[in-house]
């Protein structure tokens, strides 16, 4: 969203993969984009070029890297391990309905994953990203995955990591974190667009 007098963080969820299309939890598995995901990532170029960015950060995943590259920012990409998607541990590659069949009532943001991360774990990483972004004090473009970005947004506006459960992100969506009246009032300026 150009025009803000304050720094903004533009968040981009990676393009569609076979696992994101089928609802499988994709944390540390390196699943490539589908042709549909690649086309959507290319289409981001026009949307994202309306603004300039001091830095471009990406998760280490191939799906985020490819999305970044196809959107036209591959040459500026710096990898930030803290932007890696949630580690789903034993639930990697599983769908929520399959997990619920074995563990009724399970909720990712409340319960975490056996052998993986909790929302608090992801929140610690998100807080480090936010601290670096605030120190940068400039417009930033970030490519990552849904659950990581949802926790990052929740932490940006001062909510607990578990509040990321309230924020849904589609593939190749663009969201903007920023400020309202001054840099002491962090807000969501745009979401899931």
Q: Which residues are catalytic?
A: 14, 85
Asked whether the beta carbons of 64 and 144 are under 8 A apart, the reply is: yes
Contacts within 8 Å (CB) and 24+ apart, 136-139: 136/7, 136/54, 136/55, 137/7, 138/7, 138/53, 138/54, 138/55, 139/7, 139/8, 139/9, 139/10, 139/51, 139/52, 139/53, 139/54
Asked whether the beta carbons of 44 and 63 are under 8 A apart, the reply is: no
Q: What residues pair up with 177 in beta bridges, in sequence order?
A: 9, 188
Q: CA angle, 157 as apex, 138 and 153 as ends, to 5°?
A: 75
């Amino acid at each position: 969203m150009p025009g803000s007098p304050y720094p903004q963080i533009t968040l981009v969820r990676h393009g569609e993969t076979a696992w994101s299309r089928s609802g499988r939890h994709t944390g540390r598995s390196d699943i490539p984009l589908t042709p549909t995901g690649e086309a959507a990532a290319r289409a981001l170029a026009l949307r994202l070029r309306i603004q300039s960015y001091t830095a471009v950060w990406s998760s280490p995943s191939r799906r985020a890297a490819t999305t970044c590259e196809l959107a036209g920012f591959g040459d500026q990409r710096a990898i930030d391990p803290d932007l890696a998607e949630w580690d789903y541990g034993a639930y990697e590659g599983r769908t929520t309905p399959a997990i619920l069949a074995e563990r009724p009532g399970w909720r990712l943001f409340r319960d975490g994953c056996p052998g993986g991360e909790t929302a608090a774990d992801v929140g610690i990483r998100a807080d480090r990203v936010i601290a670096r972004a605030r120190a940068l004090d400039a417009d930033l473009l970030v490519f990552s995955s849904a659950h990581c970005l949802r926790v990052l947004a929740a932490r940006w506006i001062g909510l607990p990591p578990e509040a990321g459960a309230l924020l849904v992100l589609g593939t190749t969506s663009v969201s903007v974190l920023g400020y309202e009246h001054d840099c002491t009032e962090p807000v969501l300026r745009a979401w899931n667009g």
